[in-house]
Structure formats: C-alpha cells, structure tokens
Amino acid sequence: MVVKNFQLTLKHAIHGIEVTRLYPEVIMDLPAAERGIHQLDVRTCIGCGACARICPNSCIEQVSYKYGNPLKNKKMKFPQIDYGRCMFCGLCVDDCPTGCLTMTREFQIAGWNRNDIIFGPDDIAVGKYSDEEAAKLAEEARIAAEEKKKKKAAAAKAKKAKAEAAKKGDEGSGEKKKEE
C-alpha cells in the first residue's frame, strides 16, 4: 500500500524535472500581458488626469514634475502612484488616451517604510529629458504659449474690432433706417 502511494513520488523523482523557480537569481519569463509596475512615457503624457479619475482606489495623484514635455503637458502634472494602494487592475492603462501609461513585467517592490512604496513620476518615468532639453522645451513652450497668447490677443482684438465694426454697421444701418 505504502509503496503504491509512493509510486507517483518515485516516478517523478526519477524523472528529475526541476520545478523550483530560483527566484532571486533567475526571474521566470512573464507573459507580455503581465500587469506589473507602471511605466510612464513622460514625453507623451498630456496630464489629462483620466488615469486618476478612473482609478477605483484613488491611488493616482497628479503631481508636478519637471522632466516632461511642456509642449504637450501644459501644467506639467504627472501621475504619482501609491503602490500601497494600487491593486494592479489595469484600468488606468486602459483609459489613458495617449497610451503613455503602460504596465511592465517588473514586479519587485518592497519598502521598509510606507513612503518607500509611493512612486512619483520620476520612479516610473521613461524617456526623461535631460536638464538642458527640459530647459529648451520649457523655453519653446513659453514661446509657444506667448505666441498663442499673442494670437489669442490678436484674435480677440480682431474679434473686438469686428464686433465694433458690426456694431457701427448696425448703428449705421439703424441710422440709415431711421433716416429712411
């Protein structure tokens, strides 16, 4: 009886199949769909906050961060993820309009303190700009913003002028009408 019960064990023991995944040294192959730690492409994030709104655990907060792309992200707000609360559900990734937030196969996090596991944009960012690039982009953004402002101002002026003209025209016509 006993021998029979050990048959299975013996059979497998002889085959010598190794099953242990030798974790700290070897990390097993994970599928592409794996939902691990997030990755943020700061160059394309537009800071819309859709990820923060959909998150069921409200663990995403939009914080300021300077190595992003100010041309796209006007307020320079990027998501910060509290891994002490994130449940890796992937809803934020599904909802990101530009696809800049993705989930990687990396999963190893552990912290000695609660604050260690709150990952700011810097910890999850890829494609960070260097200082000079950031400065340059900021400059560009400033110029663009100014131009836009100018344009806006010009547009506003034009509009105003138009409106005034129209008004005048109206008045004129009114007068005309009156005259008639």
Partner 1 sequence: MTTANDVLDALQSAFPGAIQEFRVESDNRLWATVDPNKIVEICKFLRDEEDFDHYSGAAGVDKIDEDLFEVTEILASHGAHPVVALLKVKTPRDTPSVKSLTGLFWNADWYEREIWEMFGINFEDHPGLYPLLLVDDLVGSWPWRKDFKGYPDYNTNERVLEKINPDGYAEYKISPTEAEIEAGTVPETRPEYPTFREREIMELETESEMILHMGPQHAIVPGPFMLDLRVDGERVKKAYLDVGYIHKGIEKILENRTYIQGIPITDRMCYLASLSNNEVFCGAAERIMGIEVPERAQYIRVILEELSRIQSHLLGTGEFLSLLGGATFSPFQWMILDREEIISCIESVTGARINHSFVRQGGVRNDLPDGFAEMTRSALKTVVDKTNEYKELLLSDNIYRKRMEGIGILSPEEARRFGLSGPPLRASDTPYDMRREDPILVYPDLDFNVISRKEGDSKARVEVRLDEIIESCHIVEQCLDQIPGGPIREKVSKKIKPAPGEAYYRVEDPRGEMGIFLVSDGSDKPVKVKVRGPVYAYMQALPPLLEGAYVADVVAIAGSMDACTSEVDR
Partner 2 sequence: MGISDVVPIPVVIDEELEKWTVWGRPLTNIWLTTTEKIHEIIDMGPIKNILNWGRKNSLWFLMQPMGCCGVEMLVFGCPHYDCDRFGIIPRATPRQADVLIISGYITRKYLPAIKNLWGQMLEPKWVIAIGECAISGGPFYDSYNIINNTSDFFPIDVYVPGCPPRPEQFIKGFRELQEKIKRREDERGY
Q: Write down the least CB distance from residue 34 to partner 1, Å.
A: 5
Contact between 111 and partner 1 by CB under 8 A: the answer reads no
Query: What is the contact mask toward partner 2 in residues 10 to 49, using x (rule: CB under 8 A)?
Result: ---------xxx-xx--xx---------------------
In this structure, the chain runs to a length of 180
Cβ-count burial of 95 within 10 angstroms (0-12 exposed, 13-18 middle, 19+ buried)?
Answer: middle
Q: Which of 36, 84, 90, 120 binds ligand SF4 (CB under 6 A)?
A: 90
Compute the distance between CA of residue 69 and CA of residue 65 in angstroms, rounded to an integer: 10
Among 138, 129, 88, 127, which Cα is nearest to 109's? 88
Compute the distance between CA of residue 169 and CA of residue 176 in angstroms, rounded to an integer: 10
Contact between 88 and partner 1 by CB under 8 A: the answer reads yes
Compute the distance between CA of residue 143 and CA of residue 55 in angstroms, rounded to an integer: 35
Q: What is the dihedral of CA 36, 127, 134, 42, to 10 degrees?
A: -40
Chain residues that interact with partner 1, rule: CB under 8 A: 1, 4-5, 8-9, 12, 19, 30-35, 54-56, 87-91, 94-95, 103
Chain residues that interact with partner 2, rule: CB under 8 A: 19-21, 23-24, 27-28, 56-57, 82-89, 107-114, 116-117
Chain residues that interact with ligand SF4, rule: CB under 6 A: 40, 45-51, 54-55, 57, 59-60, 79, 81, 86-92, 96-98, 100-101
